[in-house]
Amino acid sequence: MKIKAQYAMVLNLDKCIGCHTCSIPCKNVWTNRKGAEYMWFNNVECKPGIGYPKKWEDQNGYRGGWQLKGGRLELKAGGRLHKGINIFHNPDLPTIDEYYEPWRYDYERLIKSPRRRHQPSIRPVSQLTGENINLRWGPNWEDDLAGLGETGSGDINFKNLEFATYLEFRNVFMFWLPRLCEHCLNPACVASCPSGALYKRDEDGIVLVDQERCRGWRYCVSGCPYKKVYFNWKTGRAEKCIFCYPRVEAGLTTLCAHSCVGRIRYVGLLLYDADRISDAASAASDQAVYPAHMDILFDPHDPAVQTAAAAAGLADNVIDAAVRSPVYQLIKAWKLALPLHPEFRTLPMVWYIPPLSPVSRHIDSSQEQDAIDNLRIPITYLANLLTAGDEAPVRQALKRLSAVRQYMRSKRVDNRIDEQVLEKAGISGDTVEKIYRLLALARLEERFVLPTAPVKDDDIFIQQGGCGFGGAA
C-alpha cells in the first residue's frame, strides 16, 4: 500500500447555467498569447453535441486512452513501434478544423471608416494567417443545441438510444458539460510522451509539461482521450491545464472554480493507493473500471489511514485538508459524483454530479423514486457519458438527488418529515441535511479546501510566474 494525495474537482451539472464565466479567466490568464489562440484549457460544451475538438469522445477515430489487449493494459494508439513508424507524422492528431481556426474582427475599419453611402462591414480574420475566413466551427458552436440536427448524430453517448427520437420537441433535452484536464491517476498523455516531458507531480497529482524537455512530438495530444493537451505552434511545445498550481499552492482555488457564478465546483484532496492504480485501470470490463477506481480511494476519516498517510510522508495540513475535503463526500461517501468516460481507463480525477434538470413535476409531486425515469434527460445517455453504460450508479445518484429535493421540500413547505423518501434512497435524514448544505448553501471555505505548500525558497513566487511556460520562447 502506498498512500498519496491527489487534487480532485467535482462539478454539479444540475447547477451549470452555461454562462462560460469559468472559461474566460482561464483563457485570459493562461492562453492569451501567440501560438495559443485556439486553446481552451477550460471550455463548456452543450450536450447533446460532439464538442471541442469535434468528436473528441470517439476513440475509434483519435485512438486516445488505454485498452485491454490480451489481459494487459496498453495505449490504444500503440507503443514504441507505432511512434517510431509515425514519428514525423502522427495520424491520430486532431486538425485545426476539428478544433477551430481562431479569428478576430477588424473593428478599426468600423471606427476609422470615412463617411460613405453604405455602412461599412467587417469580416472575421484568421488569427493564424491574417486572411479573411468563413466561420465553420468554434469551441462553443453547438451552444443551446445549435445545429443539433446536423452534428448531434455524431454524439457517441446516444449509444443504445434512437437519436432521431430526440429531435422531436417533446423529447429534446440539453445540459452543459464544463471540461478541463482530468489530471488522471493513470494519464495516457504522460505514458505517450517519448521524451518524458509530461509528468505527474508527486505531492498533489497535478499533471504538467516540462517545457525544457518537450520536443514537440505531439503524442501526448493524441494520447489524451479528453483532448486537453495542446500544441503551441509558436513555441513548438505542448501545453495544458496546470490546475492553477501557483494559486492552489497558496491556498487559493483554480480560476475556473473561483469565477463560477453558479457555484457548481468543489475542489479538494483525495487519498488513494498508488500501488493499485494499474489493477484498477486493468479492470476486466469497461463498466468495472468505475467501481475499481472507487476501491483505491481511502477514507480520510479512518484513523488507520491517517496514520499510514503520515508514515508515507504526507504533511499534517494535507491530511487535515483531505479530512475536510468536500470531494470525498460527494464522490465516495455519498456516491453522487461520477467520472467522465471511465472506459478510457485513465482514472480521471474531475468528477460530475449528473443533472436532474430540467426539474420534472414527477419529482415534485410523486413519492415514487422511479419518477426519475420520467426525467427529460435519458439515464442511458448519462450512463454512456459517466459510467461506461452502467445505469445503476447514475440511477443511484439521481435517486439521492431527488430524495434530497423531496425531503427538504416536505420539511420546509409541508412541515413534515418524509421517511419513505429516505428509505427508498438508502440515506438518512442527517445525510440529506449535509448534502443539502454542501450543494445549496456551502460557503467558499467549505467548497474549496486546499492546503498551502511550505515555502522554503525566497524566490518561489518569482519561479511560479513562469507557470511551466518559461524557457520555451
Supply the CATH number for residue 326's domain. Answer: 1.10.3650.10
Which pLDDT value is given to residue 226?
Answer: 98
C-beta contacts of 428-433 below 8 A and 24+ residues apart: 431/334, 432/403, 432/404, 432/407, 432/408
Same domain, 258 and 336: no
* Residue 337 near residue 353, CB atoms below 8 Å: yes
Cα distances (Å, whole numbers) of residue 286 to 154, 283, 315, 397: 21, 7, 35, 19
What is the band of 466 on the pLDDT scale with cuts at 50, 70, 90? very low
Give the C-alpha separation, 252 to 304, whole Å.
29
Question: Quick check: is 256 in a domain?
Answer: yes
Distance from the first to the final alpha carbon of the chain: 42
Which pLDDT value is given to residue 208?
Answer: 96
Cell 469535434, located at residue: 54
Question: Quick check: is 270 in a domain?
Answer: yes
Same domain, 167 and 266: yes
Chain centre to alpha carbon of residue 198: 19
* Residue 386 near residue 338, CB atoms below 8 Å: yes
Question: Quick check: is 70 in a domain?
Answer: yes
Question: Quick check: is 224 in a domain?
Answer: yes
Give the C-alpha separation, 300 to 283, whole Å.
24
pLDDT per residue as tens digits for the range 187-196: 999 999 999 9
Residue 230 phi, psi (nearest 5): -125, 160
* Residue 145 near residue 46, CB atoms below 8 Å: yes
pLDDT per residue as tens digits for the range 404-459: 988 998 888 888 887 888 888 889 999 999 999 999 999 999 999 999 866 555 55
Question: Quick check: is 311 in a domain?
Answer: yes
pLDDT per residue as tens digits for the range 244-265: 999 999 899 999 999 999 999 9
Tell me, what amino acid is at 140?
N
Same domain, 148 and 263: yes
Task: Find the helix packing angle between 379-386 and 391-412, rounded to 10°.
Answer: 120
- Number of domains the chain is built from: 2
Which pLDDT value is given to residue 356?
Answer: 87
What is the band of 368 on the pLDDT scale with cuts at 50, 70, 90? very low
Same domain, 95 and 167: yes
Same domain, 239 and 96: yes
pLDDT per residue as tens digits for the range 191-227: 999 999 999 999 999 999 999 999 999 999 999 999 9
Establish whether the linkage from the previous residue to 187 is cis, with ω within 30° of 0: no
Same domain, 466 and 378: no
Question: Quick check: is 173 in a domain?
Answer: yes
Same domain, 321 and 260: no
Which pLDDT value is given to residue 112?
Answer: 87
Same domain, 270 and 337: no
Same domain, 193 and 342: no
What is the overall mean pLDDT for the chain? 90
Does 365 score more than 60 pLDDT? no
Does 468 score more than 70 pLDDT? no
Does 469 score more than 80 pLDDT? no
Give the C-alpha separation, 170 to 299, whole Å.
44
Mention every residue, 6+ apart, whose C-beta is less than 8 A from residue 407: 417, 418, 421, 422, 429, 432
Mention every residue, 6+ apart, whose C-beta is less than 8 A from residue 408: 432, 436
Residue 295 phi, psi (nearest 5): -65, -25
Same domain, 425 and 458: no
Tell me, what amino acid is at 59?
Q
Question: Quick check: is 202 in a domain?
Answer: yes
pLDDT per residue as tens digits for the range 12-53: 999 999 999 999 999 999 999 999 999 999 999 999 999 999
pLDDT per residue as tens digits for the range 153-186: 999 999 999 998 888 877 889 999 999 999 999 9
Give the C-alpha separation, 457 to 294, whole Å.
37
Range of the domain at 176: 1-100+137-284+296-315+450-473
Same domain, 205 and 174: yes
Which pLDDT value is given to residue 375?
Answer: 83
Same domain, 375 and 465: no
* Residue 328 near residue 434, CB atoms below 8 Å: no
Cell numbers at 181, concatenated: 484536464
Percentage of residues in the chain having pLDDT higher than 70: 93
Question: What value does the mean pLDDT take over residues 278-291?
Answer: 97
Which pLDDT value is given to residue 117?
Answer: 87
Question: Quick check: is 416 in a domain?
Answer: yes
